Structure 1
Amino acid sequence: MEERLALRLQLFRDGGHAESRVIDFVVSELDILAAGGQTVTEDTAGMLTSHLVTALTRLLNGEAIEQFLTDEQVAAELAGHPEAVAGARAMAERARALLGAGLPESEVNFLGLHLAALAQRSHACPTPSTEGS
């Protein structure tokens, strides 16, 4: 994992803002995205990382996550990215199964937007050189 993204997660862990199991889950999800060909760095996935850590922590702490209605603009954006919607649903299902944290539909939609943005950034980012490896 890229050093700056790992630092973001370490700050959540060290600051006591998230349980280790949440951080471990998020690391696993980022690894899944990277294995699927996404460019997972602080620049491309930092906001996704923070959003997922925060949402899961709130759910596990019994805090309410505000339900938002998906407006037409969000629905239109997600309609253009069915793979992001499927990825968000799969991620939410793994969170439910592994952590007992059932993300509400509005959170799944936000994850879908993050995943769509990640896919766009991944295609815009050059693959890091493996020279000297």
Structure 2
Amino acid sequence: MTGDVHPAVIEDRFRIRAGRRKAWGTGLLIVAGLCWVYAAFQLFTPYETRIWSVDCSGPAFADREGVYDVDGPLDERERREIALCAESRDWPAPVTALLIGAPLAAAGGSLRTAGSVALDLREHTAQLTRADR
């Protein structure tokens, strides 16, 4: 029965599959982007500790100079605030988001590219066929 299928039906099925592949790739890229936005938010935005209400700068901008130097310019209160800031930021969550986002972006980019190329080549072939007539 498969030999009786009209070429237009085969063409439509091919285009539908390529369109789905492209849509899945786009969706995966969006999810990866959301993971990266979450990780960037955790890394760059200031926050307040849960205990003692200490205002902390984002970890990317945190000043840690003299934290580990016992005879350094920081007093005990400043060291305690820096330690509270470091303890209150949950690092596994943004790191996990980055680790999940990387393969999603790779798979999404591959799927989107494969779908786009398949559709573009099919369109190119159709244009060549029409030009030969």
TM-score (norm 2): 0.29
Tell which has more relative contact order, 1 or 2 (C-alpha 8 A, sep 6+): 2
Pair member with larger Rg: 2
TM-score (norm 1): 0.29
